[in-house]
Structure 1
Amino acid sequence: FAAELDTKHDKHERIVKISRDITIESKRLIFSLHSLLRNDDITEASGKIKEGLRKIILTHFTNITLELENEDPYQYLRAFSPGLQEFIEAITLYSFIVKSGTLFTWEDVKEELNVHVDIRRDKPNGPPEIIGTRRLQVLPLTEYLLGLEDLTGELMRLAIGQLGAGKFKAALKTTTFVKYVYTGLLLLSHVQSREFGKKLSIVRQSLDKMEYACYVMHVRGSEVQAHPSQFSSTSMLLPLSQDFLN
């Protein structure tokens, strides 16, 4: 029994390490996605980001699939949940920026993570024998929703960057998208997840900041254009007054 517990603990630690690698690489891709705003031609750069996302799937998620062989995947879900949510954040942000504001759905993410891994059996003489395949299909709806909530924070950064670049219509489109996402998430407030509720309040805060920044740019647009240095991203995110929130 002790040996079995040690084996499960070691497996858990290996999966946690893989999850950390997914988180790190996903964060790098998110940073690269924000830098696309500074490029006139995003085709080449977005192609590299797409390759990076695919690499995460074919390496790290494949390794998780191998670790979960003959195991209950939900028993280890918390071990790779942070990396999974960060990856969802990255791939949904990629879809929004590169595919003109589209939402990468739960079904889309599941299809991307539909990784087939060969199941091998060692042979006394010769190379291992392939006896079948296994695929990673562990994506509870709650995990997708948590990643989607994280996406809204990145979209807030994107909208502020768009305003700073003078792209008011693009920022308004991003803000409207987040508003629709928030409305949809409100309909799922019955989800039994403490983390979901906490992140939902952060989504509301992000949306408030985006709407206020767009409000400032719309109402005081001529002033911003005449004195852009006085209207930095920071000044646009000053705390909202209670009157405005109501």
Structure 2
Amino acid sequence: MLCFFLRYRFLYSPLMATAKHQRLHQIAGASLAGSAKKPKTMMDSAMKEEFAKHADYLNALNDKRERVVKASRDVTMNSKKVIFQVHRISKHNKEEVLSKAENDLASVTDQYMSRLVKELQGTDFWKLRRAYTFAVQEYVEAATFCRFCKTGTLLNLAEINASLLALSDKDVEPLQINVLDYLLGVADLTGELMRLAIGRISDGEVEYAEQICKFVRDIYRELTLLEPMMDDNIEMKKKMETMLQSVVKIENACFGVHVRGSEYIPLLGSSDPDYSFLGVPDFE
């Protein structure tokens, strides 16, 4: 009896295993078929719809970023041209140079800043800040540079933003330059003023250079008070270091003129051999 049982188990176990395996496949196939035929739930449909909306939003944002980058590049390039134009200023052509620089700045505002404003108005433009911040800083630098050379004063943030309001539609949120971008642009302004001061000294306009020196020193002092409140902004820290170097260069140049005044007589146009610079006798 035991031998018969062992023979039966030996002969039919593979058959039973094969049949069991086939049944498992049938059950699995039926389950898959059932799940394939199972109707989509409202939740699955809603998730797909939301995912599609988010994908469309990201695609539109990327397209907008590309357009903003292009507009920013134009603003940056043409703002630099305005700055180069202002550097041509001298005591003989001041009105002519500044008039052309102001016209060029108005063209930058009307042609290029207007494009940037239209791309960013009515949107969460802070999300694209890294795409346009350098263009805005360059524009602020050019605008403030023109204002200082014309009036000796600083163009403030409210005045710049007021000029941009005219470029925006009244029915949407307008683009407004934030405080950080404005201050970064003003920090860059000090570097251009340093170059202007050195150039004016070489042309004999020492008093104008001293005026620039005082103005730059005041900006540096005010930003020194504000910089600790900027959440350790790395960009501002770097510009503060550069600004200090600009202040030192202007001060050294002005100080050198006073100490070694007699060497600047040809530059100042004096032919009197007994000439004493600014009424101060030469140092031995």
* TM over 0.5, shorter chain: yes
Q: Tell me which residue corresponds to 1:197.
A: 237
The secondary structure found in structure 2 opposite 1:36 is: coil
Alignment of 1:83-122 (within 5 A): 83-99=135-151, 101-118=152-169
Q: Tell me which residue corresponds to 2:87.
A: 34
Does 1:212 find its partner at 2:264?
no
In 1, the alpha carbon distance for the partners of 2:97 and 2:202 equals 21
In 2, the alpha carbon distance for the partners of 1:63 and 1:167 equals 40
Structure number with higher strand proportion? 1
Give aligned-pair identity as a percent. 35
Residue type at the aligned position of 1:222: S
Alignment of 1:19-98 (within 5 A): 19-37=72-90, 40-98=92-150
In 2, the alpha carbon distance for the partners of 1:115 and 1:194 equals 33
In 2, the alpha carbon distance for the partners of 1:112 and 1:66 equals 14
Does 1:18 find its partner at 2:58?
no
Gaps of 5+ in 2: 1-53, 269-284
TM-score (norm 2): 0.70
**Pick aligned residue for 1:148 from 182, 186, 194:** 186
8 Å Cα contact 1:81-1:143 kept in structure 2: yes
In 2, the alpha carbon distance for the partners of 1:96 and 1:227 equals 25
In 1, the alpha carbon distance for the partners of 2:127 and 2:194 equals 34
Q: CA deviation at 1:219?
A: 0.2
Q: CA deviation at 1:13?
A: 1.4
8 Å Cα contact 2:168-2:175 kept in structure 1: no
Structure number with higher helix proportion? 2
Q: Tell me which residue corresponds to 2:23.
A: none
Quickly say closer, same or farther: Cα 1:135–1:70, change in 2 above 3 A: closer
Q: CA deviation at 1:173?
A: 0.7
Q: Which has the larger radius of gyration?
A: 2
* Structure of greater relative contact order (alpha carbons < 8 Å, 6+ residues apart): 1
Does 1:7 find its partner at 2:60?
yes
Gaps of 5+ in 1: 119-131, 229-246
8 Å Cα contact 1:115-1:136 kept in structure 2: no
In 1, the alpha carbon distance for the partners of 2:218 and 2:65 equals 37
In 2, the alpha carbon distance for the partners of 1:162 and 1:43 equals 16
Residue type at the aligned position of 2:164: L
The secondary structure found in structure 1 opposite 2:168 is: strand
The secondary structure found in structure 2 opposite 1:187 is: helix
TM-score (norm 1): 0.81
Q: CA deviation at 1:210?
A: 0.7
The secondary structure found in structure 1 opposite 2:153 is: coil
Q: CA deviation at 1:133?
A: 4.0
8 Å Cα contact 1:182-1:204 kept in structure 2: yes
In 1, the alpha carbon distance for the partners of 2:131 and 2:178 equals 14
Residue type at the aligned position of 1:111: A
CA RMSD of aligned residues (A): 1.9
8 Å Cα contact 2:197-2:213 kept in structure 1: yes
Aligned residues: 213
